[in-house]
Every structure is written in C-alpha cells, then in structure tokens.
Amino acid sequence: MKYFNTEGSCKPKEHYMVNLDDRLGYIKKMLVDRKKYFVINRGRQYGKTTMLRALAEYLKDDYIVLSMDFQMMSTANFADEQTFAMSFIGYVEELVSSEKESMEIIHAEALQALNSLKNQEEKTIKNMFQYISNICRKSPKPIVLLIDEVDSASNNQVFIDFLAQLRGYYLDRENRSTFHSVILAGVYDIKNLKLKIRPGVEHQYNSPWNIAAKFTIDMSFSSVQIAAMLEEYEKDHQTGMDVAKIAEEIYRYTSGYPYLVSALCKYLDEEIPDREGFGHSGDAWTKRGLDEAVSLLLKENTPLFDSMVKQLDQY
C-alpha cells in the first residue's frame, strides 16, 4: 500500500504523489529536445530530486541519461583539477557500466577514457572533456547530463573550470560532440557563483554559465494537482472526504510547497485519526483535521522552517 512520503525523493510505485507527467513533457519538448543547458534552482524540499529522477525515466527512450549527484562526491574529489577530472570520468564510467545494450559502446569508451586519463601526465579538466567528447560522439543516442546537488561543488574553483568547459563545448557544438543537454539542480543560483569565488574582479569574467536557458516552470502544486493525488488516496481508503475542498484548503495553507503538501497529508493519514476528538479517518480529512495537522507541522518542523526563512532571505 502506498503512503505519503516526507523523507527524500518520492517514487511513483511507493508513494502517493502529485503526477509530474505534464511538467516532464514540457521540459522534454521545450528544453531537452532543444538541446538546452539549464539549472533547476529551488529551495530545499521543493521536489528537485523527485523531478530529476522522474525526468531521467521519462527521457530514457530517446536519450542516454547520466544522472549524477554531486553530494556523492566527497570534498576530496574537488580538491584539485586532477582529482576532479579522474573522479568525474570515474563517475561516468560507473554510470554507464550497466548491462544495457545501448550502454555497451559508451562503456568501452568511458573505460578507455578513464585509463587514458590515468596515464596522462596532465589530468586536466580540459583533457577530460576531450574524452567526454569522444564518448558523446560514439554514443548511439544523444547524452543528457543531470547533476543534482551542484551546491556541494559550487565553492570550488574546479567546478567553475568544469562549467567553463561545458560552456566552451556548448558554444562549439557544431564542431565537437558534447552533451546534448545539461541540467543542474541546486538551491543557489549558479549565475551568481563567480561573485562568491572571485570577489571584486567579477567584471573581468563572463559567467561560465551565461549560456543557461531559463527554467521558469512552477514546481509548486496547484489545488487541482493536489486533488488528483487525494483522489488516488481516496480510492484506496474511502474516507468520504470532500476531495476538491480539502485540496483547496491544503493549497491555501501551503501555497503548494511540495514538502508541506505531503507532510500535511501524512499527518492526516497517519496521526490525526488517533488523536483525541477524531474517531476515524473520515473525521481527519476535514477542515478541523487539517487545522490540527497544520499546528502539528508547525510544532515539529522548526528547523526546516528556519532554513526556509533563510532561503527566502537569499532570494
């Protein structure tokens, strides 16, 4: 049986969730198919990882998708250019080492790249990109690169150099193969990176990421989308709730902030029915139950709200 999830990204088979298909279709058509490079830049718990994973799945028939998470790389991996170049190629090799037929060709290529770079005296990001370019050229399908949690890298000079190479190849894509589309996700806006890294001299440099397309998709949930999720829940549980009304109320409290939507639903499903004054789940999924859930949420999530407020300060 499915449940409402508030820990980490949501999976369609395990969790009640807002359906993302419309957004995924739009992102594919308007951005990925058009070879765009862009950043998904939203606050904590805004559904970025959930969206990236769903997107990877959605794109996999037409593309080879490399899904990375920079949180999986340790600080040491960013220590210097050599280490980063080796780690990055190593990561790529690991990602394409699956059994799938479409991966075989590029796996061989990635392994070769890894070995060549290992043996090269200059393990620079520039050299690494030449190998990446080979992988992209030989790939049977265009390669889309997704990187989640880019913030873990963003204070590093090597990451700036990496972005600069991405940009260089992007601009020269007619002549040299490279990633078809690149999607980075994080909390902070990468365009402002150089300000952090080289204070005072920013005007001398082009932002390494000034090629990025705008990502304007609203990632919050509308009351109609929330209602569709509740509809599915209602089919399984028959609480007798007024779905449209409860969805609207949830929206009113949360403005559709993904974590808050799921968190309120989780309380209504798992905790409110057991509280005094509520006999069963039919009592919980009401305006009264929702008020109770909101006060629980406010009581129990102070650290998250603190961080949300801090993020708002930064925008």
Ligand X SMILES: Nc1ncnc2c1ncn2[C@@H]1O[C@H](COP(=O)(O)OP(=O)(O)OP(=O)(O)O)[C@@H](O)[C@H]1O
- The minimum distance between CB 117 and ligand X, in angstroms, equals 30
- The minimum distance between CB 198 and ligand X, in angstroms, equals 26
Mark residues 133-162: x for contact with Mg ion by CB under 5 A, - for none.
------------------------------
If contact means CB under 5 to 8 A according to the sort of partner, which of ligand X, Mg ion, none does residue 130 touch? none
Query: Tokens 């102070």, residue?
Result: 302
Q: What are 186's strand-pairing partners?
A: 41
- Give residues 31-90 in contact with ligand X (rule: CB under 6 A): 42, 44-50
Residue type at 87 in one-letter notation: S
- The minimum distance between CB 206 and ligand X, in angstroms, equals 28
Mark residues 11-50: x for contact with Mg ion by CB under 5 A, - for none.
-------------------------------------xx-
**Rounded distance, CA 170 to CA 34, Å?**
13
**Rounded distance, CA 295 to CA 279, Å?**
19
Query: 48 with 258: CB under 8 angstroms?
Result: no
Closer CB to Mg ion, 149 or 292, in the complex: 149
Query: Tokens 């399908």, residue?
Result: 141
CA distances from 306 to 82, 148, 294 (A): 38, 23, 16
Query: 58 with 181: CB under 8 angstroms?
Result: no
**Rounded distance, CA 40 to CA 192, Å?**
14
Closer CB to ligand X, 112 or 307, in the complex: 307
- The minimum distance between CB 274 and ligand X, in angstroms, equals 21
Q: Which stretch binds ligand X (CB under 6 A): 9-17, 139-147, 165-173, 235-243?
A: 9-17
Nearest to 40 by CA among 49, 229, 6: 49
Interacting residues with ligand X (CB under 6 A): 5-10, 17-18, 20, 42, 44-50, 258-259, 261-262
Chain residues in the site for Mg ion (CB under 5 A) = 48-49
